[in-house]
């Protein structure tokens, strides 16, 4: 399985917004933290806006901030906001409809995929953005960051 990086980037962006706790953060600042282009960030923010996870304002001195507290945003929502298209993909070419298995397999796979996706989202929903922020803080305050690994 290969996911797009959008989910990872989205969590990163939201973690920065949580870290900045209410201050407006520009797409350029976010881009420097993620190490990418501001336009990529803005595209991502559009999806997060639609899902009502962030609020964005144009104009001097603004940018984006969380629209709820970090404790009330879970990663299941983030996943849905950002990976709306089908998570599992089917082969490009349609299977051979003359073969009984080829004719029916996609229906069967749809069921399997649907269930797996629900399980995935449910697990993600158990972690909130506040949990992520806590992990970040713990990692930052670790005494030795110079170990060999």
Partner DNA sequence: CGTTAATGTAATCACGAATGTTACAAATAT
Partner DNA sequence: ATATTTGTAACATTCGTGATTACATTAACG
Contacts to DNA by CB under 7 A: 2, 4-6, 9, 25-28, 36-40, 42-43, 45-46, 49, 56-64, 85, 91-93
Q: Which residues of 38-63 are buried (b: 16+ CB within 10 A; e: fewer)?
A: eebbbebbebbeebebbbbeeeeeeb
Q: Which residue has the tokens 């595209």?
A: 43
Instruction: Give the separation between CA 41 and CA 33, rounded to whole angstroms.
Output: 11
> By C-beta, is 43 or 68 nearer to DNA?
43
Which residues of this chain interact with its own copies, rule CB under 8 A? 1-5, 7-9, 11-12, 15-16, 19, 32-36, 75, 79, 83, 85, 87-96, 99-105, 107-109, 111-112, 115-116, 118-120, 122-124, 126-127, 132, 135-137, 139-140
């Amino acid at each position: 399985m290969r996911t797009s990086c959008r989910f990872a980037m989205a969590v990163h962006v939201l973690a920065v917004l949580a870290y900045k706790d209410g201050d407006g953060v520009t797409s350029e600042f976010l881009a420097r933290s993620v190490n990418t282009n501001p336009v990529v960030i803005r595209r991502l923010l559009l999806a997060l806006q639609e899902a009502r996870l962030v609020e964005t304002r144009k104009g001097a001195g603004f940018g984006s901030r969380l629209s709820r507290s970090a404790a009330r945003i879970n990663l299941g929502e983030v996943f849905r906001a950002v990976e709306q298209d089908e998570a599992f993909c089917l082969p490009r070419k349609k299977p051979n409809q003359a073969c009984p298995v080829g004719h029916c397999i996609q229906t069967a796979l749809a069921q399997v995929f649907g269930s797996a996706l629900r399980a995935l989202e449910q697990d993600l929903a158990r972690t909130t953005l506040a949990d992520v922020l806590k992990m970040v803080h713990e990692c930052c305050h670790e005494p030795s960051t110079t170990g060999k690994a």
